[in-house]
Amino acid sequence: MESGNNIIIIGGGFAGVELVERLIRSNQKQHVILVDKNNYNFFPPLLYQVATGFLDVSNISYPFRKHFRGHSNFTFRMGELKEIRPNENKIILNNGELSYSKLILATGTVTNYFGNENIRKNALPMKTISDAINLKNILLEKLEKASRASSTEEKKKLTTFVVAGGGPTGVEVAGMLSELRKNILFKDYPELKNELFEIYLIDGLPTILAPMSKESQRYATDSLKAIGVIIKLGQVVKDYTDDIVQLADGTTIETSNLIWTAGVTAEVFPGLPENSYGQGKRLVTDGTNKVVGYNNIYAIGDTSIMTSDPAFPKGHPQLAQVAIQQAKLLASNIISEKKDQKLKSFIYNDKGSMAIIRRNRAVADLNGPIKHFNGFIAWLAWVFIHLMSLMNVRNKITTFLNWLNSYTTKDQPLRMIIDPSKKNT
């Protein structure tokens, strides 16, 4: 393959995979190289179910090499981007370097701790597969420890859960923890049958699910309160040390379990100037997702901020549908450019948003004749859409079977503590 004809895509999430699939099937004489620090794609909206033991890792992940097998115009490179050298049309990875004719950055976001080092060190994030596995292991280890603790204070601290962040992920985590508390934990841990298992959901805004409609916010709040989730709004977590969550108003919550879903930020890449970045460290792009100031560097999905779309003058929401739609248009524009055809600017088709709250409870806001619905029908719609959004048939089937088992039994036998860092003694 000629290095001058390489389209390099950094990041194999929603945007990256969609773009690769369209380019390698376009019959263009260009070689596509996908670079990712992992050798697999995974489905972020279901990470919380891995973290709480309702799905196995293999249900929501799939190896890139198997998925793209058989395409001679495709190469996968496992590596981490360290530097971009625009003047040389070259990127530096942690394990080598590559030259490009076009570079597309689709790296998504990372957890944002807002500069608080104590929270970064002590809280439990849930952004990656590793985070989800680690979260599950730690929560189960804490419950094992609580089951043999002699001190009432120690038991309470180990069985209190604080979820920071009232967006869809935080709501889903709090709801899933409440399902665990209601249907499973006292059966698995009879030693803890007298413990409260308090679950807090904390957010600095005056409502949870802030981007959604007031109907969705109200329904989600009522549904979580009905199953005993303690919601604290207008509060931010100021610090977390010595198993004590400190809130901005001076109150504290004693817990060993702070789950952090409070924010994300894009990544900064050495080699691109500071003025290439906008709010949330997202790369500023024009209507064709080209990074402003460059002719062959693009950013799509969560790592891009575009202000040319009339309906979204402050940039698009960081959602999967934005990433997928931008990838589709960019693939089309790359093909059109090769044919000297006019390029199109991105206009987001907002199909609405959904959030699951707990068993049989979800909310949906749409941009059609029906603006909002909730309850069991919304829950069924959420299940169907997320099932169909998984990467391949295998993931769809295994996830469906796991969900069917969980729904009928109100249980799931996936609560194993498997930590490769620990050696048997």
Distances in Å between the Cα of 422 and the Cα atoms of 121, 146, 356, 415, 417 are 20, 20, 35, 17, 11
Tell me how far apart the alpha carbons of residues 167 and 212 are, in angstroms, rounded to a whole number: 9
Tell me how far apart the alpha carbons of residues 298 and 226 are, in angstroms, rounded to a whole number: 46
Query: What domains, with CATH codes, occur in the chain?
Result: 3-37+79-111+265-338 (3.50.50.60), 118-262 (3.50.50.100)
* Structural contact between residues 81 and 269, judged by C-beta atoms closer than 8 angstroms: yes
Tokens 């969980």 identify what position? Answer: 406
3-state secondary structure of 390: coil
Which CB contacts under 8 angstroms, 24+ apart, belong to 87-96? 89/4, 89/296, 91/8, 91/10, 91/35, 93/35
pLDDT digit of tens for each residue in the chain (425 aa)? 445 589 999 999 999 999 999 999 987 788 999 999 999 999 999 999 999 999 999 999 999 999 999 999 999 999 999 999 999 999 999 999 999 999 999 999 999 999 999 999 999 999 999 999 999 999 999 999 999 999 999 999 999 999 999 999 999 999 999 999 999 999 999 999 888 899 999 999 999 999 999 999 999 999 999 999 999 999 999 999 999 999 999 999 999 999 999 989 999 999 999 999 999 999 999 999 999 999 999 999 999 999 999 999 999 999 999 999 999 999 999 999 988 999 999 999 999 999 999 999 999 999 888 899 999 999 999 999 999 999 899 999 999 999 999 999 988 888 888 877 766 54
Sign of CA dihedral 151, 153, 156, 161: negative
Share of the chain above pLDDT 70, in %: 98
Amino acid at 210: A
Question: What global pTM score does this model have?
Answer: 0.92
The secondary element (H helix, E strand) that includes residue 98 is strand 96-99
pLDDT in tens, 111-166: 999 999 999 999 999 999 999 999 999 999 999 999 999 999 999 999 999 999 99
Helices (H), 201-279: 214-226
CA terminus-to-terminus distance, the chain? 50
Tell me how far apart the alpha carbons of residues 181 and 199 are, in angstroms, rounded to a whole number: 9
Tokens 């004693």 identify what position? Answer: 254
**E strands, 185-271, in order:** 199-203, 229-233, 237-241, 244-247, 252-254, 257-260, 264-266
